[in-house]
Chain A
Amino acid sequence: MFERLFGKSAGSVLANLSRQGAWRRFAVFFALIGPGIITSNVDNDAGGITTYSLAGAEYGLSLLWTLIPITVVLIIIQEMGARMGVISGKGLSDLIRERFGAKVTFYLMIALLLTNLGNTVSNFAGVAASLEIFGISKYASVPLGAAFVWWLVVKGSYKSVEKAFLFACLFYVAYIVSGFVGKPDWGLVGAALVKPTIRFDPGFLTMAMGLIGTTIAPWMQFYLQSSVVDKGLKAESYPYARMDVVFGSIVVNVVAFFIIMLCAITLHKSGVKIETAKDAALALAPLAGAYCSWLFAFGLLNASLFAASILPLSTAYTVCEAFGWESGIDHKFMDAPQFYSLYSLMIILGAGIILLPDIPLIAIMYYSQVINGLLLPVILVAMLLLVNDRRIMGDHVNGPVMNVFSWAAVAGLVILSAGLLVSSLLF
């Protein structure tokens, strides 16, 4: 099905296009983009959209400026991952295993499995919530969503799946459109974006940390690097990969910008209190019109399904890579039992937990956030050690300036995630 819809592999498309000369540069870029943009957009998953909505609804435009430093840090970190993928030709879990040994890798993978499971649960919750706005029961939407995710990955090839994902990225436009539908006062918004506001109340700081935590997650470093490796990019084409990463990091924050802004100019202005992204979508209807509410809900559905497709797959790949188990959707079940078991487990648990009556969803999210916070610093420090290892990176190690920036960014994130951890344990 996807084969017919999307045609041949990027490799042969590229080869055909290159014969046509004029299209070549354009074609090269489009054949090489993907990993960065997809990774960044998966990042705007159900959890992300919820956080952005809450940030806008509770604190208005005052948190908007944080998106600029977040974009910069995201670019710094993702660039290192993409560079390691291109130069070493290995995934991050491969490199971690080879450099830090079995013990460290084992515990890191368990933590990653747990936090990714939590994320998957929250995305199936997003599927349920967004379709409830359209009046569809979660007992119908969640199993259907899980079946769709399964079908997409098991029946499609890697290439066709990537194209489907790139296509899904387009639907984030829903948020940008709904932002315009809300008719903002651009002067005010612009001022909020460039003028940093800091308030020293715990709620405000926690929210700021939440914004960062949802944008820079451990799993995405693994996913990005593996998909760069899968693309088979060579060192010469690295500049394209970097463009992809930069472009993706900016797009993700543009989407975040519109969500925060929309919730600020509608919900915050009218003093509406919300707790979830679904509340936000529902509360938008009387304030900004039914279309705006539907667009918001549709965006949430797209984001949740998108992330729910990628997270289980990425987790299964990452873990199998670390332990040397056969992986990949081209294999039969018996040839890659660990891979398929992990993948199935993530989907079944992820979707199944939502269907249980009276599930402690908030508690699950909370613990997954805590593990996320514990894991992120370890992964980032490991990345910095790896990217500065000449045996792996040769001459492509970080330069002195890049090292100052990246260590500063990582130190900042470590402090913030420690802060987030402490505050979530205390409050």
Chain B
Amino acid sequence: MMNQAVQEPEFFVYLSQILGKPVQDGYGRTIGRLADVSANLGEPYPSVGGIRIHSQGRKAPLYLSWQDVRESNGSIRTEQPPTEGRALGENELFLRDALLDKQIVDTNGAKVRRVNDLQFLRSHDRLHLVHVDVGFRGLMRRVGLERAMDFFLQSLFDYELPNQFISWKYVQPVSSPDLLRLSITQNRLAQLHPADLADIIEDLDIHQRAAVFQSLDVETAAETLEETDPKIQVSLIETVAADKASDIIEEMSLSEAADLLGDLPRDKAEGILKEMEQDIADDVKELLAHPEEEAGGLMTTAFLSVPPERTASQVLEILRLEAMELDFVYYVYVLDPRERILGMLSLRELLAAAPEARVDDLMDTRFVTVRLDEEPDEIAEQFAKYGVMAIPVVDRDDRMKGVIPFRNLLELVAPKLGK
């Protein structure tokens, strides 16, 4: 084995170098020109399985299996007659059609890139797709000016433009919905942070957006949706069926869910609400009743409130059980039976307290509240003045309706920063 590896040096070849090359039969006659190569994209490093040939004067292309092709340094020969048709295997695609000049997601750099070229590793008569070329050098190679550019940069700046490759294992093709549905071992987009996924989705066109979004699992979809621009949120959620949409929206924070449903056409929103779990739907409907940019629209109703006679250990137990359902866990509010705020406790205070201490002894009775119709500017001022992480919202009768975590306000204020 070792010996063989030495005899057969491995090296790289670009798709652009073999496309358009003449394909010759056993007698050295040209059958046609290489138009495309196919590969099974389900493999970790897909190997070329077949080629498509365009011959002059024929409209229909010809096909050959890669096993019957002998390729070395730009000459392609075959002993076998090419066939008229060729069935592609599962996950097998023609690479030029599917990838070249198309957009891909670089899951390592979390960016949408355009494919300038594909690089194969030649090993044991097989070509393995290893790198996707997204750099300027790849572009100039395609244009046919790579040497001219090298000469120019060398002689003027003594500089050689490096290649910009992305390893195939970090690449997620998105150019058609089919590419996302391929049973590739796993969807590589799942490796991305939802905030990066949201940026990527915003960079794609409408069809790719829908395809990428539909390929995500419910939880990732919800997290991604929270990070996406509201206008795009609406168009994304409209691409999925009401039952899946309701599953996704249930996973979102209540205030985000309410904002999104508020932006949807009424019939669509009602359809989704009907599919949602009753209690979540009720909470969302309550939030929907308030204008988006007032305290009532910014708040979430998924907060923790306890009666004054509970002990610290009981509250911690409740927190443990409810934590995943809550939008905001850091403050616990102590309410009287008529839902008026008596005081509040931070998680830090709870953890530091003696387990048997009653919350009405531990709580801080100095707290700020805002009314349901408070404007964002006013709320922001309260946050700045008191340095709190959340502000409770009360109605006209001082009953607690929800809480505005700082994060919710930030989304409203952030676009105005730095402008």
Contacts and interface: CB of A to CB of B under 8 A. Distances in A.
A12 B231 CA distance: 8
Nearest to A103: B143
Most buried by A among B134, B235, B419: B419
B102 A98 contact: yes
Interface stretch (A88-96, A117-125, A168-176): A88-96
A97 B114 contact: yes
A324 B234 CA distance: 26
A75 B266 CA distance: 35
Contacts of A234: 206, 235
B283 interface: no
B300 to A, nearest CB: 20
Which of B144, B206, B207 neighbours the largest number of chain A CB atoms within 10 Å of its CB?
B206
Given A89-B206, A97-B101, A102 B143 contact: yes
A102 B232 CA distance: 30
A90 B292 CA distance: 32
A15 B144 CA distance: 50
Nearest to B416: A3
- A contacts with B: majority SS: helix
A382 B115 CA distance: 21
B142 A101 contact: yes
B206 A232 contact: yes
B263 A324 contact: no
A326 B103 CA distance: 12
Contacts of A106: 139, 142-143
Interface in B13-51: none
A229 interface: yes
A11 B206 contact: no
A15 B263 contact: yes
A181 B323 CA distance: 73
Given A103-B144, A324-B134, A11 B231 contact: yes
Contacts of A323: 114, 139
B143 A232 contact: no
A276 interface: no
B205 A15 contact: no
Nearest to B418: A155
Contact of A98 (B101, B111, B143): B101
Contacts of B355: none
Interface residues of A, number: 26
Contacts of A11: 230-231, 234, 263
Contacts of B262: 15
Which of A89, A102, A229 has the largest count of B CB atoms less than 10 A from its CB? A102
B113 interface: yes
Given A89-B206, A323-B114, A102 B142 contact: yes
A3 B114 contact: no
Interface string B213-246: 0000000000000000011101100000000000
A9 interface: yes
Interface string B288-328: 00001000000000000000000000000000000000000
A406 interface: no
Contacts of A107: 143
A18 B111 CA distance: 35
B255 to A, nearest CB: 15
Contacts, number: 66
A324 B103 CA distance: 8
Given A9-B231, A106-B139, A323-B139, A94 B205 contact: yes
Given A155-B419, A232-B235, A324-B134, A88 B112 contact: no
Interface string A1-18: 101000001011001001
A94 B103 CA distance: 9
B419 A90 contact: no
A102 B415 CA distance: 37
Nearest to B264: A15
Nearest to A2: B419
Nearest to A326: B111
Most-contacted residue by chain B among A88, A98, A155, A157 (CB, 10 A): A98
Contacts of B100: 101
Given A232-B231, A323-B114, A324-B112, A90 B205 contact: yes
A103 B20 CA distance: 14
A102 to B, nearest CB: 4
Nearest to A235: B206
Among B100, B114, B208, B265, the most chain A Cβ lie within 10 Å of the Cβ of B114
Contacts of B143: 102-103, 106-107
A11 B206 CA distance: 16
A102 B101 contact: yes
A185 B171 CA distance: 68
B248 to A, nearest CB: 19
A324 B113 CA distance: 5
B116 interface: yes
Contacts of A232: 206, 231-232, 235
A9 B231 CA distance: 9
Interface in A300-330: 323-324, 326
A234 B239 CA distance: 11
Contacts of B266: 18
B35 to A, nearest CB: 12
Contacts of B205: 88-90, 94, 229
A85 to B, nearest CB: 10
The 6 closest A-B pairs by CB, nearest first: A324-B114, A89-B206, A89-B205, A102-B142, A11-B231, A106-B143
Interface of B: 100-103, 111-116, 134, 139, 142-144, 175, 205-209, 230-232, 234-235, 262-263, 265-266, 292, 415-416, 419
17 contacts: A3-B416, A11-B231, A12-B292, A15-B263, A18-B265, A89-B205, A89-B207, A97-B114, A98-B102, A101-B100, A103-B143, A106-B139, A157-B415, A229-B205, A232-B206, A324-B113, A324-B134
Given A94-B205, A323-B114, 9 more contacts: A11-B230, A12-B292, A90-B205, A98-B175, A102-B139, A102-B143, A103-B142, A106-B143, A324-B116
Interface of A: 1, 3, 9, 11-12, 15, 18, 88-90, 94, 97-98, 101-103, 106-107, 155, 157, 229, 232, 234, 323-324, 326
